A and B are shown apart, each in its own frame.
Chain A
């Protein structure tokens, strides 16, 4: 198990460099530079422009800029935002809990519903339920997030008035950030009704963000379950006189979970990508919205290091999933 973990860790280093190189190059490929954006629409005085660029260190050749960047990273310095002059790390720390809360809610939604629907669809293969669920899953998977989000806002927020349109909580409430999770903070605060309000704010974005993972998990669970239910050991379990529930959930699902777990891990990456769009639609003050705004402002340090932090997060989650995978599947754990 230890060598298994060590091998996985060794793979992180090249991945890490790949990400820095990619974000560094991509953000500089977009036309325009931070100074132009800051100075606004009017023609920029070339002299002032050059001075500002020099001050920011952006006049150096690209390789030198990259080396500076890596050098700073090596010292644990993520730089500061060109716009706000606050450190990228502290901005990330303030905004990340909002994204984490949204993502966890989305995963919870996708995981519970996806597993349940997938298992039932597999058990009732070929039934109306099966076809219905798989049809909806395919639709959900194909639905562009921004459009799906707008549809839900139109229907539930505008027409029915059930949920708020945007934000994490109503402006009426003044919730002191303790954990950064609005649901928890609103419970900790004395404000009456704040928790319900926070929950109402969370539901739509979580559903929108969770839709694609939900579809993927449901389809994956169904097919994994169908495959597993055909296995000889499921027949053995039934021949032991175990109850159908035990056969399906202990002997079947336990094995079907192995591929589903992998998909679950991959979905975390997709989830953070989806968060960028979802947060923009719902004005959710998380890192997705932060990154979009920073790209607009050509805020190089924020974009580079924000994406780097997200990449680290995805890598970390996949790492954890790899370990869980080993725990779930004894055949992997014992591989030498």
Chain B
């Protein structure tokens, strides 16, 4: 056990890229659409506990990346920071926030707004509150077309209609003049998606796009998103709680805990052989994995709050594998052959995984 740890510590060979290798692009020159390095978001001054803590993340062109983690782990805040939606007293700092060759962090208002909403778009969690109740569906879609594509009048309306058809809204023409309160949740989310893809984005961020919807509608919306992603070869960042959705849709996954990425890996491998105890616990907590058991497998305790952050590994108070070292030192996110993990004693690293 111990020499495995030692190997991990010195494991970063000099020829390896410091960027967390996805494994999928080994050898080939990766086409990075999004490259986030050392992103931190704090609410308050520099001494405030970071909500997102030194996060590295990258998305390739046309790739589906899932970010999973429980509520408050910083999934949404990360993407809001990228979109420039964090408002005072929130403070965003990063070594770089590269999107499509531009560092979003260095952009000023107007330049940023040329990208946000066009090349970089977002769909939010609750469609019923995400649309403006005072304006028609058509107005809200046409607004994007006018702002980013310069479409006006009939042309904008025609395009808005096409977008509504693209997101499979029945009787699209009559929906253009509908107000959000006249639409169901699923319909509203389709409208929100139409708005997001109006600028033909290169990267679409979907922040728990199905959480607020009926179970029957959830699958439809996921299918729609993935179809659009394939058709337009968009990058898609899918923020979700639902590991089943991740397994079906994503190519890579980033597991977050208390503002840190704890494990990054490709989808089948990460599910087959989780390296981080937290990932393992998440997978165990899927009800289907506890068939026959009386109780669902859970981790005791809760995510550390602002004032009770452990000195060492953030998971250490809850971790079934915790050693003395875990509560003294904080581990870093280190690459390994199949991904990267933030743990002194990673699991399953030597497991045989069918590739």
* Chain A residues in the interface with B (C-beta under 8 A): 231-233, 235-244, 251, 254-255, 328-331, 334
| Residues of chain B within 8 A of A232, CB atoms compared | 124, 126, 129-130
5 contacting pairs across A/B (C-beta < 8 A): A239-B124, A240-B147, A241-B112, A241-B116, A241-B147
User: Among the interface residues A233, A244, A254, which one has the most CB atoms of the partner chain B within 10 A?
Assistant: A233
Instruction: State the 5 A-B residue pairs at the shortest beta-carbon distance, nearest first.
Output: A241-B117, A232-B129, A240-B117, A233-B132, A241-B113
Question: With A and B bound together, what is the CA distance between A238 and B83 in angstroms?
Answer: 9
Q: Which residues of A contact B144 (CB under 8 A)?
A: 240-241
- Does B4 interact with chain A (Cβ within 8 Å)? no
CB-CB nearest in chain A for B181: A331
Q: Which residues of A contact B115 (CB under 8 A)?
A: 241
Shortest C-beta distance, B199 to chain A (Å), equals 8
Complex contacts, A254 vs chain B, CB 8 Å: 132, 134-135
Known: A233-B129, A241-B115, A254-B132. 6 other contacts (CB 8 A): A236-B124, A240-B195, A241-B112, A241-B117, A242-B117, A255-B132
Given the known A-B contacts A255-B132, A330-B179, A334-B181, are A241 and B85 also in contact in the complex, defined by CB atoms under 8 Å? Answer: no
CA–CA, A235 and B182, complex, Å:
21
Cβ–Cβ < 8 Å partners of B118 in chain A: 241
Question: Which chain B residues border A239 with CB–CB below 8 Å?
Answer: 83, 85, 116-117, 121-122, 124
Identity of the chain B residue whose Cβ is nearest the Cβ of A241 in the assembled complex: B117
Complex: A328 Cα to B134 Cα, angstroms: 7
Does residue B152 face the partner (Cβ distance < 8 Å to A)? no
In the complex, whether B109 has a CB less than 8 A from a CB of chain A is yes
In the complex, how many angstroms separate the beta carbon of A77 from the nearest chain B beta carbon? 46
Q: How far is the CB of A226 from chain B (nearest CB, A)?
A: 13
| Consensus secondary structure, chain A interface | helix
Q: Are A233 and B117 within 8 A (Cβ)?
A: no
Task: Decide if A242 touches B113 in the complex (CB within 8 Å).
Answer: yes
Bound Cα distance from A329 to B113, whole angstroms: 29
Which B residues fall within an 8 A CB radius of A?
83-85, 109-110, 112-118, 121-122, 124, 126, 129-135, 143-144, 147-148, 179, 181-182, 192, 195, 199
Determine how close the nearest CB of chain A comes to the CB of B328; give it in whole angstroms. Answer: 40
Q: Which residues of A contact B84 (CB under 8 A)?
A: 238
Q: Do A237 and B132 touch across chains, with their CB atoms under 8 A apart?
A: yes
- Interface contact A241-B133, CB-CB below 8 Å: no
Q: Known contacts A241-B115, A331-B179, A334-B182; is A236 also within 8 Å of B132 by CB? A: yes
Q: Residues of B contacting A243 with CB < 8 Å? A: 110, 113
Min Cβ gap B178→A in Å is: 10
State how many angstroms separate the Cβ of A14 from the closest Cβ of chain B: 32
- Asked if B124 and A242 sit within 8 Å, CB to CB, the answer is no
Whether A240 pairs with B130 at a CB distance below 8 angstroms is: no
Chain A residues in 8 Å Cβ range of B130: 232-233, 235-236
Q: Are B131 and A330 in contact (CB under 8 A)?
A: no
Tell me, in angstroms, the Cα distance from A233 to B124 when the chains sit together: 10
Measured between beta carbons, the chain A residues less than 8 angstroms from B147 are: 240-242
How many Å lie between the Cα of A330 and that of B133 in the bound state? Answer: 7
Chain B residue nearest to A235 in the complex (CB): B85
Write the nearest CB–CB distance from B110 to chain A, whole angstroms.
Answer: 8
Query: Chain B contacts of A255 at CB under 8 A?
Result: 132-134
Which A residues lie within 8 Å of B121 (CB)?
239-240
Chain B residues with Cβ below 8 Å from A231 are 129
Q: Which residues of B contact A328 (CB under 8 A)?
A: 134
Q: How far is the CB of B64 from chain A (nearest CB, A)?
A: 20
With a cutoff of 8 Å between Cβ atoms, the chain B residues found around residue A235 in the complex are 85, 124, 130
Q: Report B-chain residues with C-beta under 8 Å of the C-beta of A244.
A: 109
Cα separation A243 to B112 with both chains bound (whole Å): 10
Chain A residue with the shortest CB-CB distance to B132: A233
Residue of A235, A236, A239, A328 with most partner-chain B CB within 10 A: A239
Kindly state the separation between the CA atoms of A236 and B84 in the bound complex, as whole angstroms.
Answer: 12
Most buried by B among A241, A244, A251: A241
- Min C-beta distance of A144 to chain B, whole Å: 38
A330 to B118 CA separation, bound complex (whole angstroms): 28
Which residues of B have CB within 8 Å of A233?
A: 129-133
